[in-house]
Structures are given as structure tokens and as C-alpha cells.
Amino acid sequence: MHTVTFLPGYRKIEVPRETTVLDAAQRAGLNINVVCGGQGKCGKCVVYVQSGKTEFDQQKNLKFFTQEELAQGACLACQATVQGDLQIIIPDSTLIQEQKILIEGLDTGIELHPSVRKYYVELLPPTLSDPSPDLSRLLWGIQKNGGPVAEKMYAPLEALREIPTLLRHSDWKVTGTIALVPGGYRLVDLQENDTSKRLYGAAVDLGSTTVVVYLWDLVAGKMVAVASNYNKQISCGEDILARVNFAKKNGLSKLQALAADSINAALTTAANSAGIDREDIYEVVVAGNTVMTHMLLGIDPGYMIAEPYVPVVRRALSVASGRIGIACNRNGGLFLFPAVSDFIGGDIIADILACGMAEKEEISLLIDIGTNFEVVMGNREWMFSCAGAAGPALEGGEVLFGMRANPGAIDKITIDPATLDPAYSTINGIKPRGLTGSGLIDLLAELLMNCVIDRNGRINTGFNHPRIRTGVHFPEYVVVRAEETDIGKDIVLTENDIKNLIMSKASVHAACVTLMKEAGISRQQITTIYFAGAFGNYLNKMNAATIGLIPEIPISQIKNIGNGAVTGANIALINRRKRKTLDEIATKIAYIELNAEPAFMDEYTSSAFLPHTDLSLFPEVQKMLDTCRLHRG
Amino acid sequence: MHTVTFLPGYRKIEVPRETTVLDAAQRAGLNINVVCGGQGKCGKCVVYVQSGKTEFDQQKNLKFFTQEELAQGACLACQATVQGDLQIIIPDSTLIQEQKILIEGLDTGIELHPSVRKYYVELLPPTLSDPSPDLSRLLWGIQKNGGPVAEKMYAPLEALREIPTLLRHSDWKVTGTIALVPGGYRLVDLQENDTSKRLYGAAVDLGSTTVVVYLWDLVAGKMVAVASNYNKQISCGEDILARVNFAKKNGLSKLQALAADSINAALTTAANSAGIDREDIYEVVVAGNTVMTHMLLGIDPGYMIAEPYVPVVRRALSVASGRIGIACNRNGGLFLFPAVSDFIGGDIIADILACGMAEKEEISLLIDIGTNFEVVMGNREWMFSCAGAAGPALEGGEVLFGMRANPGAIDKITIDPATLDPAYSTINGIKPRGLTGSGLIDLLAELLMNCVIDRNGRINTGFNHPRIRTGVHFPEYVVVRAEETDIGKDIVLTENDIKNLIMSKASVHAACVTLMKEAGISRQQITTIYFAGAFGNYLNKMNAATIGLIPEIPISQIKNIGNGAVTGANIALINRRKRKTLDEIATKIAYIELNAEPAFMDEYTSSAFLPHTDLSLFPEVQKMLDTCRLHRG
């Protein structure tokens, strides 16, 4: 055995005498450019022997190098054999550079390093002097063409049964698909001729309402299609609770099939729009909440909806996609994000991956708001999480003219301090039909800043203004007069609506503060607040701080990551190394049960004001309020 | 993180503060005695803190230790938590000693260390303060009861689907079966209540004629039954070649099923005789020749019977037993020995494991003789192998009165130098019906030593003796007169029989010498010759050397290992560490194609004498021959 040291990285490997320098480099994990598969023909695998003895055919080398280069020790790694301890310099141009992929919603590129790869090989047929088994011949060929070390690859039984005929039928020209799995590299597919460019993967956000699929070309590192579909489980129950109850009545297998069908529908749409065959999709990465992933796998979610709220499994899982009816390659793999608990699911772990907070030294706060909210705080050392019911107000529910972010929803609104008349925009630009979450937050902040409402959320009926009036049950502010709407009646915000909005925002704020107290962190120590999910899309960050939805930090440090679940799934699909960190992240996150924390209830009460009972926590808001009050008198 | 060092072995592990010393020890791979599962009740996990800080409940400790022991740092590993870097002494009595198992045909015991184990656990049900997922709860319980580290275990999808109901239905008292597989430890079975004593495994010698099964209790480490069955493939062809041709005519799936059925038949007989349920057999280890293992797996063996003789796969394989129709536990595993080439199969690798030659520094020669012979020579550094056709003579074929080792076969014979009359024994002691291989070798050696035949194998018709006569075609020696036989006619050995015997023995000897030449080894450097297979059972070692079947070495150094295939399978079943070495052994063995070696043909010609043309290679035989000649004159 001899030691070969590769510079500049000082990677060392022990290899037997006569090993080629290429083999040694590959075993050391270096990704060498070998276009010809190590036949000494392409001249790409140039290395420089700095010290030690190698042997190679001088004649072959002369074709590729000048005398000067030869004097410096230049040779082809695939031709030179190790004859003693060596120091080898590998120039940058000899290494295959990893491609950086840009993913929607991310500032930095991600290296293209998927867990499944294809290798086209042209093998020499066996002879009496080289009667190696078919499997070895194939795997060595794949190794030579840049694949993993042959001994670390394995073929499942079905592949072993196909290999001998397929190799001979294809005249020893085949494409092998290799996937990294626990315990090694699996030969998941073997095809005749060169199909190495046909390798696709899908990243899936499996939501309870909508399934979103991003389809990626894993060779070119390009996103080729996006598609979405309603979650077909809606036929078994509108919300998660109803579906779990449906599952309890022997409905689990139906819910499993519907979840798979929903993914398949989006996958088919995406594949069709990109003009690719679903058989060429070898991997599907799914991020979803804990109940959704249990259902997709056909695992009973029933123990998650009642005390003590126990999931069956929370770690990351890899399963054969065929086992759960996902319509991709018959030997394709499915990777599911891990969860922290029943409430902090794989979608939140995907958010964490997307915003990168688990890799930073600075402390971040991640907030995902829907009917429920999830909050995660921490950095690369520690993380706390919690979840709770936000109530539907922030999504437009329990508010008289609240609505989802559909066409006609007011998503942004300002109020003219002079006239108290609003200026607004609607989704799709049509006449207003109601207000969506971001519109409601804007409105609340603007009404507060114009003293139309006080910090208790009460409407100042003392204002003599046509937009401020007493409605059937409550005082109200007329946002849009009937004639300007698409619905033919006044769109108003009532005092009761405001109460519901304050209760919702108070829950979120109290959750953030509870985590901060748990970690002993002040608001000044929080570097960034990330909003994940659709809620953040239209949100006016300043207004979110003004009403006290979130702790006050400089506006420039509040960021919206959009659909973090699918962004995280994209990252994990593109780069398998990122995937390896997920279980570690999930294990690191402590889950705080808010209902068991007296601090939460205290903080909730204090947060049920605009922005808070303690204005010193919101110095910027206080300044603005003071200014407004001065103005209004 | 703190570093815990365990003495006396100096095993180190990094663990977070508050980890129990027991957890740390288990993570460091130490097998600690914890009868109570780590509840501080049994007092078995005694350790001594040599340096560093731990925390534990003094009161609990007082129950188990004297003041003197406490002063020495005694504590229970399950109760003490790590509070800083530690040095811990683990007394021998705290470690679970591995049981040594005696296997038929082996002098030394093998440690009981199977790749599948059962763990009975009584889990605490989840509560609001401990809502861990079902899977984590189960795996932590298994880890606490001495199983692998929880993070290294995983559950397949079918187990995940069963876990929640099964845990609750069994009141959280379950037995988990854990198998070591590539990439981790797999939960292969989960049963209600305590079934931990019901864990069996089978070692199989899959021969082309006979299938032998040894059934083992893998908890007690006891062999509980042996059974055998004809290989049912015989209905598709008597010999391997005929069966491969049958396979080529769309017969592979039938041959696959028949191979599995043959194993199942023996497995059922063994299970029935031991009174166990086949569902409790979790692992089957199979050693067989390369064609047989291909057929058992349903892999085309067709390219092995013609040039360039290429198998599909030669490495060791693990497959789900259900995939190939083996009737054991539905989630059972099947392990197949690796092969070197189409001619040196898993049965020979099992022989090598059985005789231990791959672990020794001394050089050994292993010979397995049937219709074909296989020879392996080497030590723990290097090995050469070859194979060839011995012809059927040594098995009693192509010899007028030759027969297999069935009742009535003469298996041992001597000739009285004074009378030239034979004395013999037969199998089962009945009247003779013919001669088996060992009887033929005895007879040849005795006739040579008594100058009845010369070194060319010609019968000395000059002898005036009633047993020496000329038969219909050839001179012959009358072994048994008709009236003493069971067949009513003279049992004779003809000069033609002798010629065939010499041709067979010359092949074997020439093969041995070819390997010796290849390795540059003289006969004096060979420490041991091992005979594997039925052939060695009755063989008179002295006579084998006398006729020149094998190189001459001291008789005491010639050993018979019997059915090495099943012994090797037993070892691999009992101890998974031994199994790990097999691929390495198989890869290390160089295969020498005898037909491509001119040295072999030369040596064959030289070996076609009794014992050899060059008597200096057989100094002891020469001495005996000289003595005999002097005696006879």
C-alpha cells in the first residue's frame, strides 16, 4: 500500500501499488474530469506529480503535453500508476466544478448535487482473459465514468435479473441510474444506450389545501415546470381534523390514495408541460405537515389529534415511490422531510432550510401563519419552536368582509390622513369584493395611526366622518362604498372584526415572546424575522410591526421567503448534502407547548393591544403614534 | 459535549452533558449488562468513575454498594449522568460476555453474534410531557435494553403502518426484531408481548444433488435440528450443465422455484423435528456453487457454461427471503456467500471460512473433490485458486465396480503382504457391492506397495496368484470373490480402471502443483492440506499421498473438514462479523485458468504415474516403495 496525497487540498488515500492515479483520486473523493472514461484519449485528467514514483506510457503523454509540462511532472491521471508514496497536484481545470443552481426565493446558488445520477458507459465485452461478472463490469464502468466506487454500489435482485440480457442486447452500451441510499449507492435503473440526459426530479409542497410541484432537470440543473393541484383529500374533509376523523373510520387508505393522486395530478401536468416522460422522474422530495405526510405514507395519524398528540414517526424517510403509488419511475425514490412534532412538520423544516437560519450564527425568527401559526427561533447552535391556533382572522375568516387572497380581495390599503379616505389595490385589479389578511393588517395599522381606532381596538365614534358610523351591532369603518364594489354593498370593518384580528395577532406575538423568554433573548438580538407561506406575500412589514403582530425590529430585517416548503424541497432535491442536515435540524429544535407555559397566557393578555400594553417594546411605533396624536390633536 | 473514555479498552465517545454513562457506553459500542432496562433497579451496570464529574442519586446507589466501593467511584451506569470529561472503568462483570458456540467440524468456538436479534421492551405510554413519536419511543426502548443506537435503527414502511396499533394493543409491551443490514439496523418484525426467546436461523448447503439445512436457536446458540433433501432440480437435469440448458429454454423460473422448494422442504423437516414455527426463522444463510446460487435467485446462469464463462454476480448478496420464495418469517433475510468465479463458488468460500485458512499466516491447501475439483492455496495475505474436471473415477464412476458411498460400498481396504488377500469394511457393514472413492484409493496404494501394480499402473501379471488374472479385456485384480459379495459376481479392479483413476488423481495433483508454481511455494512450505466435502470423509490420508493425489506432506498435517459448505454457512449465521470478511476473501483469491497454463499440462503428464515421475517429490513414498521392493525382491 502507498499513500497518495492530493494537493492543494491535502486529501490522502492509501492504495495498492499499480492503482491508477485516477482511481486513487476518485477514491479520495475528488471529482476528476474523464470524458473518455479513463482510456487516455481525451487528455482531460491532467495532474502533476510533485514527488514520488509513477509509471505511464511516455508516448501517450507526448500527444498531450509540451516538454516543459512534462518536466513539471504532467501526466494523465488515468494512465499513470502508483509505484510508491506520491504527492500529486490537481489543477482546478481537472476537477469537475459543481454547478451552482439558482432557486426561486434564494439569494445564493445551490450546488447541483442530486442524490440520483445517470452514467452512460460503453463496456468492453468479457473475454477469457477478462471474465469478470456482469455486475462488476458494469459497476467498474460506472466508477470509471465518474460514478461512486464500485464496491459501494449495489444492484437489487430485479436489476441482477435484467443485467445479463440487457448488457448483451445493448451491445454493452448502457445507462445506469445510481441513487444514494442508506448503506450505499443503489442501481435503480439500467437502460439501453445513452439516456443520461433524461434525469428529472420533483420537489413537492404537500399542503392540506394545495399541492405544488416543481419539476427539475437534474442534469442541466434547470427548473422545467411548475404545477399545482387541489389536494383531493378535500372530498373527505375540509380541514385536517375532519380528515383524521375520516381516517379513523377506515378511511386511511382512501386518504393515502387521494394524497398520492393529488401529487400525481400535479406531476403529470408538470411533466406534460415540460414534454417529459414521467418514467424519467427518479426522485420526488416531499415537504408537508406531519398529518399530511403520515397520510401520504398510509400511517395512522389518529393519535396526533388528541392528547398527548403523538405522531408515529418524525424522522426523515426514504421510501420506494411505487410503494405509495407515486407515478414516477418504477424504481424511483421518495424522500420526506422530517418533523419536530405533530405541530411542527416537514413543511416548517423546509422553511428553515429555505431561509438558512440553521446555518447562521445570528438569531432568526421564522413565522408561518395560516389558520394555525408556527414560530421557530434560533441559530445554528439551538432552536425553539411552538405552534398554536391563530384563529382565521388573519386569513380573512371571522371578519365580516374578510376573504382569501382571491381576485377582488383588497391586499394593500392606505388611508389619507387629511380625508380619512382609503386608497387600495385588489388582486387582479377588479372591483373590491372584500379584504385579505394583508389588507386587514394595513387597514388596522392605518386606522390606528389616524386615531380612528384606539389602542384597545375601539372605533372612535366621536369622529364626525361619513365613513365612521354605527352598524347593526357594532361601530364600523366603511372601507368601500357599495357602488365602488363588485358585490353591491358597503365593505366595512367592524369593531368586532378588529377584536378578532387583535386576538389573532396577539397569539402570534405572544408565541414569539414566549420563545424569546425561553431562550433568554431580547428583541434587539433578533437579526432577521422571516415570514414563510402565502401570508407573507402581500404583507406590509411596517404595518405588521405597527399592529404588534411581531416584535419590533428594523423593517429591513423582516424578510418574506414565500413558499418556503417548496423552496426547501427544491434545495433538498438539488443537493443531497443539504438533505443530510435535516434530521439533525429537526432533532435540535425544542418544542415548547404553549398551553403548558403560563408565560404565554400572560403575554397574550399583554399583546391584546395595539401594538402592546408595553409601548416601550415598540419604540418606533410609539414615535409614530405620538406624531399622529400631535397631528390629530 | 464531553469526552468519556472507557477503560480498560480506552474507547472514547463524545456525548452531550446529561447523557447517562450507560448511553455513552452503549454508543461507544460496549455491551453493558442492564437487566432492568436502565431503571436503576437491577444493580448490574456497575462502573467506577476514575476521574471527572458525574451526577446521580446517592440514595439509590447506597442500596448496591458498600462505603468502600463508593469511595472507589462505584455507581450505576444507568443512573449517573455525564457532567464533564470522564474516565470510567468498566469491570468485566458489567460487560455482557459473548457466548462461544461449538460448531460441528470446528475445534474452536465461534462467538454468538448473529445479525438478527430480538428485544423485549416494556415502554412507558406517551404523556403530554413526553409525547415522543411511537417509533422513537420503541427504538429508544430497544436501545436501552441493549439494542443498537436508536438513530442507527430504522423501520420500513410496513412496520411504520403497524406500530401505532400494535403498541397500544399490546399495552406497550412488545418484542422488536432487529436485523443488521447495509446502512443500519432494520426493524424486521414487531410482535406483542415477550417472544424474545423465539429466534431461529438456518444455514444451508445448496448442493446440486442435496440440500442440507442446519437449524439454529440464535438466542441459546444451539443447533436444534439438521435435515436434508434431494435438490428437486434433478427433475430438470441430472447435472448442472443439463439444468443450465433447461434454464435457457424458459426454464429458469421453474429451476428457481425448485431450488427454493428444496430448501423449504429441508427447512420444514428441520422446523418440525425441532418443534418450531417457521415464522420464527428470521435468517437463512446459503452457501452453494455459483450456478446454484444464480438459479436460486432467478438470475440467468446461461453465460457461465460457455466461453468466456461469465457469472452475473459474484459478491455476497442479501435479499428478502420472501422475494425468492423461502418459507421463513415473512420479513426474513437471506444471505448468500460470494463467489470468486463461475468455478469457485460460495461453497468453496464457505470451505475457506470453515478451515480458517484465510486468517492464518501459514500456507494451507484446500481441496474439494467431486466430479469437478476445486483447489485453493494461500494464507491471510494471498490466495490462488483453480478448478477442473477430475473425471468421475474418484467418485466411483468410470470404474467397473466403482460406486457412490452407499450401503455395500467398500470404503476401506488393506492387502495382506503375505497372502495378497484383502481385508475391507463396507458402508453399513453389509456384503460388498462395489468400491467407493476412498476404497479405490486404498486399493491402488496397497496394490502399489505390494508390487501388484507398477508405477505406470500396469498389473504385474507375472505374479502367480489366483487374484491376479486377465479378464475379458484387461488384466485385473479380484477384490472380492462372487460368493462373498451381495451382487453374486467377482468384484475386480481392472488395468483400465487403474488408468482412469490415475488420470483423475493426476489432474488434482497437477492443479496443486500449478498453484504452488504460480505462488512460488514448495511443498515444504505447505503447513496443512484440508479436504472438504464428502470425499474426504472416508479417505485414508496416507494412501492419498502414496498414490500422489496430493503433494506429500506429513500425514498429521492433512485434515478433513467434512461438509465445509454447511460449516461455513453455520459460522456466517452464528457470527455476523465473520460474514463481513467474505467479500474480502473472495476478492483476494486469484483464479488461475488451468487450461491457459502450459505448466498444468506438463505437470499433468508428470503426475500420471504412481505417485509421480519425479520420486524425489515423494520421499516418504519412495522409502516405502524401496522397502516393499526389497521385501518382494
* CATH pick for A115-192 out of 3.10.20.880, 2.60.40.10, 2.120.10.90, 1.10.8.60: 3.10.20.880
- Cβ–Cβ contacts within 10 Å for residue B14, how many? 13
A475 vs B569: CA distance, rounded Å: 86
User: Where do we find the cell 501459514?
Assistant: B362
B461 vs B475: CA distance, rounded Å: 7
**Model confidence pLDDT, tens digit, residues A315-369:** 999 999 999 999 999 999 999 999 998 899 999 999 999 999 999 999 999 999 8
What kind of fold does domain B349-390+508-629 have according to CATH?
Answer: Nucleotidyltransferase; domain 5 (3.30.420)
> Which residue type is seen at B313?
V
CATH superfamily of B200-336: Domain of unknown function (DUF4445) (3.30.420.480)
B69 vs B77: CA distance, rounded Å: 14
According to DSSP, the residues that pair with B373 across neighbouring strands are B369, B388
B469 vs B466: CA distance, rounded Å: 7
pLDDT over 80 (residue A413): yes
Grid cell in block for residue A93: 481545470
B341 vs B348: CA distance, rounded Å: 11
A163 vs A176: CA distance, rounded Å: 10
Contact pairs from chain A to chain B, CB under 8 Å: 124
Q: Do domains B2-94 and B200-336 have the same CATH topology?
A: no
Q: Which residues contact A485 (CB under 8 A, 6 or more apart)?
A: A431, A432, A433, A491
Q: Which residues of B touch A382 (CB under 8 A)?
A: none
Residues in chain A: 633
Average confidence score pLDDT of chain A: 92
- C-beta contacts of B321-327 below 8 A and 24+ residues apart: B321/B284, B323/A157, B324/A157, B324/B256, B324/B260, B324/B296, B324/B297, B324/B298, B325/B256, B325/B257, B325/B260, B325/B261, B325/B264, B326/B260, B326/B263, B326/B264, B326/B267, B326/B284, B327/B264, B327/B267, B327/B268, B327/B278
Q: How far is CA A524 from CA A241, A346, A363, A553, in A?
A: 38, 29, 10, 7
A4 vs B608: CA distance, rounded Å: 50
Average pLDDT over residues A6-35: 85
Q: Does B17 touch chain A (CB under 8 A)?
A: no
The A residues from 595 to 614 touching B (CB cutoff 8 Å) are: 596
Task: Write down the pLDDT at residue B345.
Answer: 96
Residue A338 near residue A287, CB atoms below 8 Å: no
Helix %, strand %, coil % for chain A, to 5? 35, 25, 35
pLDDT over 70 (residue A97): no
pLDDT over 90 (residue A390): no
Residue of A nearest to B136 (CA): A313
User: Where do we find the cell 447552535?
Assistant: A381
pLDDT over 60 (residue A608): yes
> Which residue type is seen at A256?
Q
Grid cell in block for residue B523: 511443498
The per-residue DSSP string of A314-360 comes to: -S-EEEEGGGGT--S-TT-EEEE---SSSSS-HHHHHHHHHHTGGG-
Low-confidence ranges of chain B (pLDDT < 50): none
Q: Which residues contact B29 (CB under 8 A, 6 or more apart)?
A: B11
Q: Does B126 touch chain A (CB under 8 A)?
A: yes
> Which residue type is seen at B265?
A
- Is the CATH number 3.40.50.300 carried by domain A2-94? no
B409 vs B393: CA distance, rounded Å: 14
| Residues A234-266 as b or e (16 or more Cβ within 10 Å = b) | bebbeebeebbebbeeebbeebbbbbbbbbbbb
Helix and strand counts by DSSP (H, E) for chain A: 17, 31
Task: Write down the pLDDT at residue A493.
Answer: 96
Interface test with A, best of B310, B340, B582 (most A CBs within 10 A): B310
Residue B381 near residue B414, CB atoms below 8 Å: no
Residue A27 banded pLDDT, cuts 50, 70, 90: confident
B197 vs B370: CA distance, rounded Å: 40
User: Which one, of A260, A264, A251, lies nearest residue A324 by Cα?
Assistant: A260
Residue from the list A134, A161, A313 with its beta carbon closest to the beta carbon of B160:
A313
Q: Which residues of A touch B319 (CB under 8 A)?
A: 157
A191 vs A198: CA distance, rounded Å: 11
The B residues from 304 to 363 touching A (CB cutoff 8 Å) are: 307-315, 317, 319, 323-324, 341-342
A630 vs A526: CA distance, rounded Å: 32
Quote the ipTM score.
0.83
Q: How far is CA A383 from CA A310, A586, A588, in A?
A: 21, 9, 6
Grid cell in block for residue B282: 428470521
> Which residue type is seen at B315?
R
**Model confidence pLDDT, tens digit, residues B477-511:** 999 999 999 999 999 999 999 999 999 999 999 99
Contact B157 A323 (CB under 8 A): yes
User: Which one, of B514, B522, B523, B286, lies nearest residue B385 by Cα?
Assistant: B514
| Residues A454-486 as b or e (16 or more Cβ within 10 Å = b) | eeebebbeebeeebbeebeebbbbbbbeeeebe
Q: Which residues contact B98 (CB under 8 A, 6 or more apart)?
A: B31, B111, B112, B113
Contact A161 B300 (CB under 8 A): yes
- Dmax (CA) of chain A: 103
A514 vs A517: CA distance, rounded Å: 5
- How distant is the Cα of A133 from the closest Cα of chain B, in angstroms? 5
- Dmax (CA) of chain B: 103
A43 vs A33: CA distance, rounded Å: 9
The A residues from 148 to 177 touching B (CB cutoff 8 Å) are: 151, 154-155, 157, 160-161, 163-165
Backbone φ and ψ of A227, nearest 5°: -150, 155
Nearest 5 degrees, angle CA B561-CA B567-CA B570? 165
A81 membership: H or E segment, kind and range: strand A81-82
Using the Cα atoms of residue B11, residue B17, residue B19 and residue B22 in order, give the sign of their dihedral: positive
Q: Is the peptide bond before B619 cis (omega within 30 degrees of 0)?
A: no
Structural domain spans, chain B: 2-94, 115-192, 200-336, 349-390+508-629, 393-500
Angle at which helices B619-632 and B437-449 cross, to 10°: 60
**Model confidence pLDDT, tens digit, residues A582-592:** 999 999 999 99
Q: Does A71 touch chain B (CB under 8 A)?
A: no
Residue A98 banded pLDDT, cuts 50, 70, 90: low
A103 vs A109: CA distance, rounded Å: 7
Residue from the list A127, A154, A183 with its beta carbon closest to the beta carbon of B184:
A183
A232 vs A208: CA distance, rounded Å: 9
Q: Which residues contact A277 (CB under 8 A, 6 or more apart)?
A: A198, A271
Residue A505 — left, alpha, or beta (φ > 0 → left; ψ -120 to 50 → alpha)?
alpha
Q: What is the 3-state secondary structure (H, E, C) of B185-219?
A: EEEEEEEECCCCCCCEEEEEEECCCEEEEEEEECC
A35 vs A9: CA distance, rounded Å: 23
SS3 call for A421: coil
Helix %, strand %, coil % for chain B, to 5? 35, 25, 35
**Model confidence pLDDT, tens digit, residues A4-20:** 998 877 788 899 999 99
Q: How far is CA A608 from CA A94, A295, A387, in A?
A: 63, 37, 18
Nearest 5 degrees, angle CA B583-CA B589-CA B593? 130
Q: Does B199 touch chain A (CB under 8 A)?
A: no
Residue B442 near residue B545, CB atoms below 8 Å: no
Average pLDDT over residues A514-534: 94
Taking the alpha carbons at both ends of chain A, their separation in whole angstroms is 88
- How distant is the Cα of B583 from the closest Cα of chain A, in angstroms? 10
Average pLDDT over residues A255-268: 97
**Model confidence pLDDT, tens digit, residues A441-475:** 999 999 999 999 999 999 998 888 999 999 888 99
What one-character DSSP code corresponds to residue B330? T
